[in-house]
Amino acid sequence: MMRNPARRSGANIIKDRLGTAVVWSSGILVMGVLLAIISVVLARGLPFISLEFLTQAPQKMGREGGIFPMIVGTFLLALVAVPLATVLGVGAAVYLAEYTVENRLTRLVRSGTEILAGVPSIIFGLFGFVLFVVKLGFGWSVVSGGLTLAFMTLPTIIRTSEESLHAVPRIYREISYALGAGKWQTIRKVVLPTAGQGILTGVMLALGRAVAETAAVIFTAGSSLRLPAGPFDPVRTMAVHFYILAREGISMERAYATAAALIILILVVNSLALVLMRRYRARF
Amino acid sequence: MSQAKISIRGLDTWYGDLQVLRGVDLDIPARSLFTVMGPTGSGKTTLMRTINRLNDMIKGFRASGSVLVDRQDVYAPEVDVPSLRRKVGMVFAATTPLPLSIYDNVAYGPRVKGVPDAQTSEVVEKCLRDALLWDEVGSRLHDPASRLSGGQQQRLSLARVLALEPEIILLDEPASGLDPVSTARLEDLMRRLSKSYTVVLVTHNPLQAARVGQLTAFLFMGKIVEIGPTSKLFTSPQDKRTEDYVLGRFG
């Protein structure tokens, strides 16, 4: 009697099912944790969000009033940090990917970037404090905070941009050169647009980090409750605000409300990014 | 001095320590259809890429000997490489177009050169017509080029090259991966183009070499084994290796 070779042994079937179960459980666990965090914060915070809350300034150290200056602060820091990090980061990535050959120096730079990407944000905060706040005399300000966040998110942008550039098929560059284009023309017209989706992902990641960062911001942008009048004025972001509210026991309701507003902002930004990327992809 | 459009003497090329071409001597007459045939790995692509200096892109590439186009050495220091690459257009073996629309693919060369937009659109239409592609894409010029079939993409590559107003067209295994109908169409197109341009075809398929071209050179392991009128090379080859190759004994 011939044994059906397609029939798997009992042990293999069990292993297969176990593997599937493990993978599914991990996925469900991760989704579960994410949903739990979001729903707890939204449940406790949404009831206290109102139009007044979002458009008014805080009163009595944040015990009453709204979070308008904090919303502005969050946007301002992102506005300084993200464009700066993007220009520097993409520029560095283009240099590494297109203008150098793979050698010991480029590998060193790449390792350095990877290590920097893993440095705890509080260390960037201290670095920013020493350099921008004290040494350069900017004080606690939008500028100090923005610059610090820029440097903090720079490694991520360099890494994702460089990978995206490397992923551009070689044939595109060859075709471009064969049609009489120079190196910079090729980069501008073919390589960067093709790598655009990956680069955008890196920028979105950086934006997400800039918006949610606390430690690096406290040490560099300060914690003033007032609306900043200029770039050298201190400012408080939403993340810093609800940290302080919660830690000092000032107002748990408003802490949760601020956290809820922040989570909604992050979700909106990420959804926008997804939409942008999908439209981009549809073009090719 | 040779009157040929392309004149190569004593060409040796290396990728690092690996020598690929050995003492290649070749004269390609103007406005002809010239075929370079040989098994994979014999250096055909290297030879083509040496003529339009695309091998400059590769680190460790070296060439010695002379490569003359219109009696001008292409490796002379004063040569403007982008201009050279517009004069010597290349169609690659891979049919992949640039990740742009059909229109933008053909317009790429003229735009890089700085041709104004009004003129560019005329050039694009003319080249698509010359490449026998206009009827199929004229109504959807702004569709992504990636949506075209392999045969259409290859004709698009040709249109893209024609937009440069080249004098020489190098085609590196242009029919690889194409069905027989598309291949026949492409070969017809090459014959037609050879009346106005110097067309050089590279192929590993001796049957294709036999169909196409007035002159054929057999390149084997980096050396030119034999050159001659196509019919003569196939009916009475001088070298045993040529005979073995055309009879399909190897390759």
Is residue A94 within 8 Å of residue A194, measured between CB atoms?
no
Is residue B243 within 8 Å of residue B237, measured between CB atoms?
yes
Whether A197 and chain B come into contact, CB under 8 Å, resolves to no
Which of A198-212, B58-72, B156-170 shows the lowest mean pLDDT across its residues?
A: A198-212
In a domain, A16, yes or no: no
In a domain, A156, yes or no: yes
Q: What is the mean pLDDT of residues B155-182?
A: 93
Rounded Cα gap, residues A219 and A200, in angstroms: 28
Which residues of B are less than 8 Å from A181 in CB distance? 82, 108, 112
Check A180 against B59: CB less than 8 A apart.
no
The per-residue pLDDT for A283 is 56
Q: How many domains does chain A have?
A: 1
Rounded Cα gap, residues B236 and B228, in angstroms: 10
Q: How many CB atoms lie within 10 A of CB A193?
A: 19
The whole-angstrom distance between A192's CA and the closest CA on chain B is 12
Mean pLDDT score of chain B: 92
Whether B24 and chain A come into contact, CB under 8 Å, resolves to no
Which residues of A are less than 8 Å from B86 in CB distance? 179-180
The per-residue pLDDT for A208 is 85
Strand partners, B18: B15
Rounded Cα gap, residues B222 and B228, in angstroms: 18
The per-residue pLDDT for B38 is 93
Q: What is the mean pLDDT of residues B118-130?
A: 94
For A179, which residue in chain B has the nearest alpha carbon?
A: B109
pLDDT in tens, A160-195: 999 999 999 999 999 999 999 999 999 999 999 999
Q: How many CB atoms lie within 10 A of CB A111?
A: 10
B140 pLDDT higher than 60: yes
Whether A193 and chain B come into contact, CB under 8 Å, resolves to yes
The per-residue pLDDT for A282 is 59
The per-residue pLDDT for A35 is 94
Q: What is the mean pLDDT of residues B23-28?
A: 94
Whether B109 and chain A come into contact, CB under 8 Å, resolves to yes
- Percent of chain A residues topping a pLDDT of 90: 57
Rounded Cα gap, residues A154 and A62, in angstroms: 33
Whether B95 and chain A come into contact, CB under 8 Å, resolves to no
Which of A203-212, B115-124, B162-171 shows the lowest mean pLDDT across its residues?
A: A203-212
Out of A169, A180, A193, whose CB is closest to B86? A180
Is residue A149 within 8 Å of residue A217, measured between CB atoms?
yes
A268 pLDDT higher than 70: yes
Whether A194 and chain B come into contact, CB under 8 Å, resolves to yes
Check B112 against A185: CB less than 8 A apart.
yes
CATH for A238: 1.10.3720.10
Question: Side chain identity at A114, as an amino acid letter?
Answer: E
A3 pLDDT higher than 70: no
Listed by start position, the domains of chain B span 29-52+81-246
pLDDT band at A275 (very low <50, low <70, confident <90, very high): confident
The whole-angstrom distance between A92's CA and the closest CA on chain B is 21
Rounded Cα gap, residues B38 and B202, in angstroms: 8
Whether B196 and chain A come into contact, CB under 8 Å, resolves to no
Q: Which tokens in the block code for residue B182?
A: 């598309």
In a domain, A142, yes or no: yes
Q: What is the mean pLDDT of residues A72-101?
A: 92
Check B85 against A177: CB less than 8 A apart.
yes
The yes/no answer to whether this complex scores an ipTM above 0.95 is: no
For B142, which residue in chain A has the nearest alpha carbon?
A: A283
- Percent of chain B residues topping a pLDDT of 90: 84
pLDDT in tens, A4-58: 666 667 888 899 999 999 999 999 999 999 999 999 999 999 888 888 888 888 8
Residue entry with tokens 């201009």: B83
What's chain B's Rg over C-alpha atoms? 18
Name the residue with higher pLDDT: B249 or B105. B105
Between the two ends of chain B, the Cα-to-Cα distance in Å is 35
The strand pair at B61-69 and B223-229 is best described as unpaired
Whether B90 and chain A come into contact, CB under 8 Å, resolves to yes
B206 pLDDT higher than 70: yes
pLDDT band at A284 (very low <50, low <70, confident <90, very high): low
Rounded Cα gap, residues A263 and A272, in angstroms: 14
- Cβ-Cβ contacts under 8 Å for A218 (sequence gap 6 or more): A125, A240, A243
SS3 A221: helix
Rounded Cα gap, residues A154 and A93, in angstroms: 10
For A174, which residue in chain B has the nearest alpha carbon?
A: B54
Check A179 against B54: CB less than 8 A apart.
no
Rounded Cα gap, residues B141 and A27, in angstroms: 44
Check A172 against B112: CB less than 8 A apart.
no
Out of B52, B99, B109, whose CB is closest to A194? B99
Which structural domain, as residue segments, surrounds residue A116? 66-282
pLDDT band at B176 (very low <50, low <70, confident <90, very high): confident
H helices present in A95-214, as ranges: 104-117, 121-128, 142-166, 170-178, 183-186, 192-212
In a domain, A106, yes or no: yes
Give the E-state strand segments of chain A in sequence order: 58-59, 64-65
The whole-angstrom distance between A132's CA and the closest CA on chain B is 43
In a domain, A41, yes or no: no
Out of A179, A194, A283, whose CB is closest to B112? A179
Rounded Cα gap, residues A202 and A196, in angstroms: 10
Give the architecture-level CATH label for domain B29-52+81-246.
3-Layer(aba) Sandwich (3.40)
Phi first, then psi, for residue A129 (nearest 5°) are: -60, -50
